[in-house]
Amino acid sequence: MKTTIFTIVCTLVALLTSSTITNAGGIFEAGGSGVQMPTMPAFTSAGGLGAGDCGSRAGSGCGFYFGTEYLLWQTTGMKLPPLVTSNPLGTPLAEAGVIGIPSTQLLLGNETIFDEARSGIRFNSGFKLSDRVWVEGDYFALADEEASYHYDAGGSAILGRPFINLSPASGPIRYDTQLFDYPPANVDGSLSIAAFSQFSGFGTRLRFDVLCNACGGCASGCDGGCDGGCDAACAPSPAVCSTFSMTLGYAHLNLDEGLGIYEVLVNPSDRFDVYDSFETDSQFDGIELGAMYGCCYKTVSFNSFGRIGLGVNQNNVRIDGRTFTDGVLETAPGGVLAQTSNIGSQDENVAAMMAQFGFNVGFRLSNHIEANVGYSGLYWSNVARAGEQIDLRLHDGLFPAPTAPAGTIGAQPTYRTSDFFAHGLNVGVAFVY
């Protein structure tokens, strides 16, 4: 089925290109007299050189390429739990900020961030070792994402941080809130939240040209290119060049994220500066196996690739909390969401899988330059995200100025993973020598 689809695509490329040349008319008309339209070997940069390259590189002496692309990719967003709530003045203290109360408005949380398209760059290069073997490599990085939020009602509303209270004064475990702005009790405060996300990766591989239907049609199968170049002993040239290749190599991915929360709480007797920090770093290292198929006709080429990698994720989760009372550091560390019961660093090595794919159309501009446009992306399993490490099950006796006895169980260390996707458009240019 896939071969049929690729054959149709290549045939359409051939028909469109043939029609364009014929409609040009005059001395550039195919089969006409006079000066004929020159044809050039085609290649594609994304995922490696494409169809017809195995012949043209050998025939023309070309054995190196370098490409750069602009990426516009969308990624799987980072999930945030409920973080900030608001109520109008006059709300009873027992109901203020509590999720589920009709007057409570959720200002931030139960949503994802960093799920919009962002720019990036990718570099590709390759060097020919023999007629059918290439060494290739690539590197990509997306622009760093940042988000920030600030909440300060200035006495016009009630603001709080929702949580699940493990030790309510009465009744079972339930939703509660830590109020940082409550005018009726002369509690004035603010909350600032900042988050970031950084994503990049690289890989290197060997490419083996398994099947090559070069336009030169030489007996060796890969001596000619889209520009012909064979001697009289060779068979007639086919209309469309095509190449099928296999790849084997190494892949590395890295996702680094963080979420920081800074609260200022001022009551008639004290000022509290409270910090909560959640950071994650996921790194994938593995072996990948892939395949490529490409075809070209004159100056237009089509290229596709797919690779699957198996390896190990090194996931690191870091949780930290600090409270300053009137400018003095508490002897016991801890904040609101980062309590003494879950502060620390946790490292896990887990099996993971990644997959990459891409489709590109290339347009040859000169003997050494090609422009290309396409769609590409990747999938990555068992990735740690900063927002998913927050545990809302808290003990209110461990809040700033803790009153709970030593050993009290509050928020627990978390280690949650999820799947990560990144995909979108790519536009670039490649140089071959």
Segment 128-187, tens digit of pLDDT: 999 889 999 999 999 999 999 999 998 899 999 999 998 787 778 889 999 999 999 999
Residue 167 pLDDT: 79
Between 171 and 125, residue with greater pLDDT: 125
Q: Give the C-alpha separation, 378 to 380, whole Å.
A: 7
Confidence at residue 62, expressed as pLDDT on a 0 to 100 scale:
63
pLDDT digits (tens, 9 = 90+) for 67-83: 999 999 999 999 999 99
Q: Which two tokens stand for residue 297?
A: 């006709």
pLDDT of 407: 55
Average pLDDT over residues 106-121: 97
Confidence of residue 401 (pLDDT cuts 50, 70, 90): low
- Hey, CA dihedral for 151, 154, 156, 162, is it positive or negative? positive
Better pLDDT: 140 or 400: 140
Q: What is the pLDDT of residue 349?
A: 97
300 pLDDT more than 70: yes
pLDDT value for 405: 56
Query: Residue 222: which pLDDT band, with cuts at 50, 70 and 90?
Result: very low
Q: Please give the span between the terminal C-alpha atoms of the chain, in angstroms, as a whole number.
A: 35
- Res 326: pLDDT: 82
The DSSP-derived string for 271-297 is EEEEEEEEEEEEEEEEEEEEEEEEEEE
pLDDT in tens, 303-312: 999 999 999 9
pLDDT reported for residue 399:
73
User: Which of 66-75, 264-273, 294-303, 412-421 has the highest average model confidence (pLDDT)?
Assistant: 66-75
Per-residue pLDDT, 93: 92
Using an 8 Å Cβ cutoff, are 397 and 404 in contact?
A: yes
Please tell me whether residue 58 adopts helix, strand or coil conformation.
Answer: helix
Report the pLDDT averaged over residues 118-129: 96
Token pair of 343 as six digits: 């502060």
CA 171 to chain centroid: 45
DSSP-derived letter for residue 267 is -
Please give the full DSSP string across 351-404, using - where no structure is assigned. Answer: EEEEEEEEEEEEEE-SSSEEEEEEEEEEEEEEEE-GGGG---EE-GGGSSS--S
Instruction: Supply 28's token pair.
Output: 């550039």
Task: Choose the most confident range, by mean pLDDT, from 30-34, 141-145, 220-224.
Answer: 141-145
Residue 238 or residue 258, greater confidence:
258
Cα four-point dihedral sign 53, 54, 59, 61: positive
Phi, psi of 331 (to 5 degrees): -65, -35
Distance CA 333, CA 340 (A): 6
Cβ-contact 372, 44 below 8 angstroms: yes
Residue 157's pLDDT is 95
* Predicted pLDDT of residue 396: 75
Cα 48 to Cα 138: distance, rounded to the nearest angstrom: 9
Structural tokens at position 333: 């560390």
CA distance 162 to 173: 13
State phi, psi for 391 to the nearest 5 degrees: -105, 115
Planar angle of CA 24, 26, 27, nearest 5 degrees: 105
Whether the pLDDT of residue 278 is over 60: the answer is yes
For residues 108 and 162, is the Cβ–Cβ distance under 8 A?
no
- Please give the pLDDT value at position 357: 98
Contact 102, 129 (CB under 8 A): no
CA atoms within a 13 Å half-sphere pointing along the CA-CB vector of 366: 7
Domains and CATH numbers, the chain: 38-432 (2.40.128.90)
The whole-angstrom separation of Cα 272 and Cα 329 is 10
Greatest mean pLDDT among 14-23, 141-150, 182-191, 259-268 lies in: 141-150
Q: How many residues does the chain have?
A: 433
∠ CA 25-27-30, rounded to 5° = 65
- Quick one: pLDDT at residue 331? 55
pLDDT score recorded for residue 296: 86
Question: In the prediction, which pLDDT does 183 show?
Answer: 93
Question: Lowest-confidence range among 43-47, 290-294, 398-402?
Answer: 43-47
Q: Using pLDDT thresholds of 50, 70 and 90, give the confidence band for residue 403.
A: low
Neighbour-count burial for 137-146, b at 16+ CB within 10 Å, e otherwise: bbebbbeebe
Can you tell me whether residue 11 is helix, strand or coil? helix
pLDDT score of 19: 39
Beta bridge partners of 308: 289, 355
Q: What are phi and psi of 208, to 5 degrees?
A: -115, 115
What token pair was written down for 105? 């408005």
Amino acid at 10: C
**pLDDT for residue 247 is more than 80:** yes
User: And the tokens for 139?
Assistant: 């590197």
Q: Are 7 and 241 in contact (CB under 8 A)?
A: no
